[in-house]
Amino acid sequence: MRFALALALTLPGMAADYTIDSRHSSASFSVRHMMVSNVRGQFSKVAGTIVYDPANVAASRVEATIDVSTVDTREPKRDADLKTSEFFDVSKYPEMKFRSTKVWKEGAGLKMAGELTLHGVTQPVVLDVEGPSPEVKHASGAMMIGVSATTKISRKAFGLTWNRVLETGTIVVGDEVAVTLDLEALRK
C-alpha cells in the first residue's frame, strides 16, 4: 500500500516540482500501548509529489501515497495483526493518501492542511512542516530537498476501533497516534 505525499519545495523565489524519493523517505507513527509505553512503527514506501513556491507559499501543494503493507514495528506477529481487518485491512485498503488543501507560513516553519484517507475514511488534518531544507545536489546530478512534517490523528476517526479493556481497566491501544513524515525529494 502506498501513501503518496506531494509537497512543493524549491529555491528561494523560484517555484519547483519535486518527486518524493521513496528509497530515502518514510512515514512513522507512535501510539500508546497499555497506557504505559509507546509502540513505534513505520511505513517504508512513501511516494508522491511536492510543488513549492517560496515566493507564494499558498500556491504550494503536496500529494502523497503510503503503501500500508510495508508497516514495520519490528515485531513480525504484531505487523501481521496490523495488516488484518481488525486494523489496517490492507487487502481492502492498501494505501493511505494525503492531498494538501492549503499551505501557509507560521513562525519559522509552514503549516499544511489537507485530507488524509486511511482505512477508507477521509478526514482533515493539519501538519506542522519543518523545511524545506536548502537544495543540495544528489549523486544523480538532480537537485534535492528534505522536509519533515508531524501531526496527530485519532484512530477512531478513521474507523480503526479495535481495542480491548484489560482487567486493570486500561486499554490495549491508545486512540491518539503521532505521525512523522521524513521526506527527501528530487527536483523534476
pLDDT digit string, tens, across residues 106-161? 988 899 999 999 999 999 999 999 989 989 998 889 999 999 999 999 989 998 77
The confidence score (pLDDT) of residue 166 equals 67
Point out which residues pair with 106 in neighbouring strands. 109
Burial of 124 (0-12, 13-18, 19+ CB in 10 A): exposed
Percent of all residues in the chain with a pLDDT value above 90, rounded to a whole number: 65
The confidence score (pLDDT) of residue 32 equals 78
Residue 88, domain CATH: 2.40.128.110
Q: State which residues form the domain around 151.
A: 3-187
Return d(Cα 11, Cα 49) in angstroms, integer. Answer: 16
The confidence score (pLDDT) of residue 89 equals 95
The confidence score (pLDDT) of residue 13 equals 56
The confidence score (pLDDT) of residue 159 equals 86
Show the CA angle centred on residue 64, arms to residues 61 and 70, nearest 5°.
Answer: 160
- For residue 26, report the phi and psi dihedrals to the nearest 5 degrees: -155, 160
In which residue ranges of the chain is pLDDT below 70? 1-13, 34, 36, 163-164, 166, 169-172
Count how many domains the chain has: 1
